[in-house]
């Protein structure tokens, strides 16, 4: 007997009521359509993690994770538009020349992270921590002040291995811009990348082993290979250490600026990297055409991988586990604190005077100037913008006179000769253009031997 219209309508209503539950069950059983969205988020995390780990001579262990598709577009736009791959610092800071007092804004990711991780106490010397505790817990005294820590950046000594941690190059040895002063030390965070990549491949291999479904494994292998290739480009090394080596000693101060509690005074020795140069170097401002072409190809490959993932019909949870593991590791790398040697810069606390800290900025600057003539005066304009009292002004006047006696101002003979040559060319050119000008030197007039007058 055919079912009645009433029975058919009731069954139809029951099936429609069960459809949302069935759809949810299917989605949570195999959430394939969410994977392509996950690959498009988190590009900035990938960019930060690359800034943390890249630059090593060994293949850099950047793992396959969510966000690589978005990062590929970001990297291509940065390489073509900004002519750089390495992101700028995320910590506003300045570098002060300890002799001239000139201030340069810091753009270096390395210097910004070194300062951030020092302020967090991660690699702060125990003597500095003790001094901070003693001053800040002193009864009846302000809980503020300026803490100045002193470090020595040693150069490299002669060795067959120019990248050896204990080796240096002499000041006359030719070194290409961008080569690091020392090989960055590989910490647990760096080595963990290889372990995470192996664990991801193990997860992706489960469907292949159990159900003979190889799609997840192939996608993971391709994603891991592209991540490793991208992180191991030589361009990273060139941009990270785009600075010259010092051919003479140089004192620099790294700090957040006025209002900051910490300042790092670095005495750069011969053969070490010029940190002032590193702060805003123009040595590596042009990305080679081959690197731009590489990222153009990477964009195509990552989009192809995205399309492949979108068509994955089964075992999507395994790829989500692979990408989630990689994203977790990448986020940890992006935010983790590291030591200066992990960034290729060897800073050793000064044994004789590791720290000076007073609860008033001017008192700290006085003490720094007495310990290291010229250094405190170079910091004065940055940390004390008001008008000094007559007593303070008299101190700084005498301190400046003492520094001028110890280090007479002047320019190098090479710079002076070049200035004389350019001035002479200007005189000759202007004489040809305006010979009748009264009071202007005629053609053939030359600079005096002292460079202070004119002679014919």
Q: Which two tokens stand for residue 269?
A: 């020795």
What does DSSP assign to residue 82?
I
pLDDT (0 to 100) of residue 201 = 97
pLDDT (0 to 100) of residue 362 = 92
pLDDT (0 to 100) of residue 353 = 87
pLDDT (0 to 100) of residue 445 = 44
Q: What is d(CA 246, CA 275) in angstroms, rounded to the nearest whole number?
A: 9
Q: What is d(CA 47, CA 86) in angstroms, rounded to the nearest whole number?
A: 8
Q: Which residues pair with 146 in a beta bridge?
A: 358
**What single string gives the DSSP state of each residue in 211-226?**
T---HHHHHHHHHHHH
- Residue 252, SS3? strand
Kindly report the number of other CB atoms within 10 A of residue 17's CB atom. 9
Q: List per-residue pLDDT tens for the chain, 456 residues long.
A: 455 544 555 555 544 555 666 655 555 555 656 666 677 778 999 999 999 999 888 899 999 998 999 999 999 999 988 888 999 999 999 999 998 899 999 999 999 999 999 999 999 999 999 999 998 888 778 778 899 999 999 865 333 333 333 333 333 344 444 444 457 899 999 999 999 999 999 999 999 999 888 889 999 999 999 999 999 999 998 888 888 888 889 999 999 999 899 999 999 998 888 999 999 865 556 788 999 999 999 999 999 998 888 777 667 888 889 999 999 999 999 999 999 999 999 999 998 889 999 988 999 999 999 999 999 999 999 998 888 888 888 889 888 888 777 666 554 555 555 555 555 555 555 455 444 443 344 444 444 434 334 343
Q: Which residues pair with 153 in a beta bridge?
A: 268, 347
Q: Which two tokens stand for residue 202?
A: 């193990």
pLDDT (0 to 100) of residue 143 = 78
pLDDT (0 to 100) of residue 170 = 35
Angle at 154 between CA 115 and CA 110, to 5 degrees: 30
List helix spans (H) across 268-374: 275-279, 289-310, 316-335, 361-371
Q: What is d(CA 43, CA 331) in angstroms, rounded to the nearest whole number?
A: 11
* Distances in whole angstroms, Cα of residue 387 to Cα of each of 98, 195, 362, 373, 383: 21, 58, 12, 21, 12
Closest of 396, 379, 368 to residue 256, by C-alpha: 379
Q: Which two tokens stand for residue 284?
A: 């590596």
What does DSSP assign to residue 291?
H
List helix spans (H) across 88-153: 109-119, 126-136
Please state the separation of Cα 441 from the chain's center in Å: 51
Q: Which residue has the tokens 């002292």?
A: 450
Q: Which residue has the tokens 């736009």?
A: 77
């Amino acid at each position: 007997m055919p079912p009645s219209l009433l029975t058919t309508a009731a069954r139809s209503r029951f099936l429609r009521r069960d459809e949302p539950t069935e759809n949810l069950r299917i989605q949570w059983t195999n959430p394939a359509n969410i994977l392509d969205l996950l690959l498009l988020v988190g590009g900035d995390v990938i960019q930060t993690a690359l800034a943390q780990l890249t630059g090593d001579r060994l293949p850099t262990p950047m793992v396959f994770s969510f966000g690589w598709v978005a990062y590929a577009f970001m990297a291509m736009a940065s390489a073509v538009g900004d002519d750089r791959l390495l992101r700028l610092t995320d910590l506003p800071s300045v570098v002060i020349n300890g002799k001239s007092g000139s201030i340069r804004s810091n753009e270096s990711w390395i210097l910004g992270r070194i300062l951030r991780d020092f302020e967090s106490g991660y690699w702060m010397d125990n003597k500095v921590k003790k001094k901070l505790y003693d001053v800040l817990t002193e009864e009846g005294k302000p809980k503020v002040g300026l803490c100045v820590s002193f470090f020595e950046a040693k150069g490299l000594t002669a060795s067959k291995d120019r990248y050896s941690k204990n080796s240096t190059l002499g000041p006359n040895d030719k070194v290409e811009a961008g080569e690091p002063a020392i090989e960055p030390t590989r910490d647990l965070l760096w080595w963990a990348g290889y372990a995470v990549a192996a664990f991801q491949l193990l997860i992706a291999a489960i469907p292949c082993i159990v159900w003979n479904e190889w799609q997840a494994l192939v996608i993971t292998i391709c994603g891991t290979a592209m991540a490793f290739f991208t992180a191991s480009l030589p361009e990273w090394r060139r941009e990270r250490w785009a600075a010259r080596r010092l051919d003479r000693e140089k004192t620099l101060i790294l700090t957040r600026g006025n209002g900051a509690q910490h300042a790092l005074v670095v005495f750069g020795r011969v053969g070490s990297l010029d940190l002032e140069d590193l702060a805003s170097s123009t040595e590596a401002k042009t990305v080679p055409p081959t690197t731009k072409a590489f990222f153009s190809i990477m964009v195509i490959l990552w989009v192809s991988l995205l399309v492949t993932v979108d068509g994955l019909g089964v075992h999507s949870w395994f790829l989500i586990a692979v990408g989630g593991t990689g994203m977790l590791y990448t986020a940890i790398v992006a935010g983790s604190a590291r030591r200066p040697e992990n960034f290729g810069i060897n800073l050793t606390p000064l044994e004789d005077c590791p720290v000076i800290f007073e609860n008033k900025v001017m008192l700290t600057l006085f003490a720094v100037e007495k310990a290291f003539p010229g250094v405190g005066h170079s910091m004065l304009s940055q940390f004390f913008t008001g008008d000094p009292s007559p007593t303070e002004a008299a101190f700084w006047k005498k301190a400046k006179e003492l520094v001028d006696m110890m280090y007479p101002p002047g320019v190098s003979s090479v710079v002076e000769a070049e200035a004389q040559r350019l001035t002479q060319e200007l005189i000759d050119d202007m004489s040809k253009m305006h010979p009748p000008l009264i009071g202007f030197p005629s053609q053939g007039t030359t600079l005096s031997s002292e460079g202070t007058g004119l002679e014919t």
